Amino acid sequence: MKSKNKTGPNIGIHAKELSVVYQRIRAILDSARAGVARTVNTTQVVANWLVGRELVEEQQQGAQRADYGRSLLEGISRKLRSDFGSGYSVDNLEWFRAFYLGYPHLLESANSDAARRNSTPFPIIDAAGHISEALRRNSASAGILHTLRGELDKPGIAQAWKPGRLSPNLCWTHYRTFLRADRPDARAFYEIESIKNNWSARELERQINSLLFDRLAKSRDKAGLMKLATKGQEIATPTDVFKDPVVIEFLGLPESHRLVESDLEQALINNLQAFLLELGKGFAFVSRQERITLDGDHFYIDLVFYHTVLKCYVLIDLKVGKLTHSDLGQMQLYANFFDQERRTEGDNPTLGLILCTDKNDAVVKYLLGPDQSKKIFTSRYKLHLPTEAELATELKRELKELR
């Protein structure tokens, strides 16, 4: 028995040390695995870009006949599929061509303009991570691509990145999805936001399909558009947070007059992660059906959030019909109550958002006035993904009403 008492603590200490060492080793291996995945992604992106460049330059040199480009792709596709598998169909080669044409400066560093004017040949990888023509002659070299990956991880390179240049945080599926945004400012915006928010390729596709850039851009002037395209979405004021319309196609709810607010609220709660993604950065869920009582009368706020960037509560009220003036008055009541009863030191004034199927912007403008319109916001919600034409029509209607 005495022997067990002596060895018991030692066994406990040993197990504790083993756990600590194991966690350190696991962290190393997890980091290495993530690094390998990023290296593979970057290598694939570079290889696809280089293949696209070869195809474009060859077609430019030899395209005397209209069918030359297609026959070249078909011939190369047959050989590549024989050597490397099914990933090199004609359609994929077309994507590689489009990738090179859409990103002609992909492998240039953001600081390489002066170097590009210098006629002296570059080494394979210079101090800024710029790839020379030597890479074209030996693009299959794993050592070159490994060196590229190492250069991109240097702090100076990360800080120098700008849209249109290679990022190790983006995979081939990201870049292929970016090509669907044919406007340079929109494409740049989605690149920035993908990196800032660590969007998966699936999340990126959803944001492009929901026309996130257009919804944010429609209320901005020319300077605001330029800022979106160069810095992405930056939140400094409440107007930077809310978008109109709000797209909630992920709920899978049909457009129906039978839809009731409780069903809409429950669907949003069931898809809270997707709803937070649609609301944007900074939103933290607090509660649903928050009850407030005033002299025996009970009121219920559909959804309560806290915005971690603006440091304030955000109250959301759901309406399945057209917005009315009483809806606005009710939200003013909720916001004023939170300001007086729930705000603590460090909190900014409470914001309110009413989601509705339709609204009269002129009524909203004159009922809220210039002061309340900085605190109370209204947005239409869409149960399907709007087309660009639908969004343009809606914007024209809003401008007409405001005039």
**pTM recorded for the entire structure:** 0.69
Q: 205 and 312, same structural domain?
A: no
* Rounded Cα gap, residues 142 and 140, in angstroms: 6
Report the domain count for the chain: 3
Q: 241 and 212, same structural domain?
A: no
pLDDT band at 396 (very low <50, low <70, confident <90, very high): low
Does 173 fall in a domain? no
Does 174 fall in a domain? no
Does 244 fall in a domain? yes
In this prediction, residues 345-366 reach a mean pLDDT of 90
* Rounded Cα gap, residues 179 and 382, in angstroms: 25
Range among 29-33, 210-214, 354-358 with highest mean pLDDT value: 354-358
Structural domain that includes position 377: 235-402
Does 53 fall in a domain? yes
Any residues with CB less than 8 A from the CB of 87 and at least 6 apart, and which?
none
Query: Which tokens is 382 given?
Result: 């869409």
Q: 326 and 227, same structural domain?
A: no
Give the pLDDT score at 11: 56
Does 175 fall in a domain? no
Does 5 fall in a domain? no
Q: 242 and 389, same structural domain?
A: yes
Q: 145 and 55, same structural domain?
A: yes
Residue that terminates a domain, selected from 234, 252, 276 = 234
Residue that terminates a domain, selected from 219, 234, 249 = 234
Q: 323 and 246, same structural domain?
A: yes
Any residues with CB less than 8 A from the CB of 180 and at least 6 apart, and which?
208
230-279 tens-digit pLDDT: 888 888 888 888 888 899 988 888 777 678 888 899 999 999 999 999 99
Give the pLDDT score at 281: 87
**Residue 26 clears pLDDT 90, i.e. is over it:** no
Q: 132 and 199, same structural domain?
A: no
Please, which residues bridge with residue 305 across strands? 285, 314
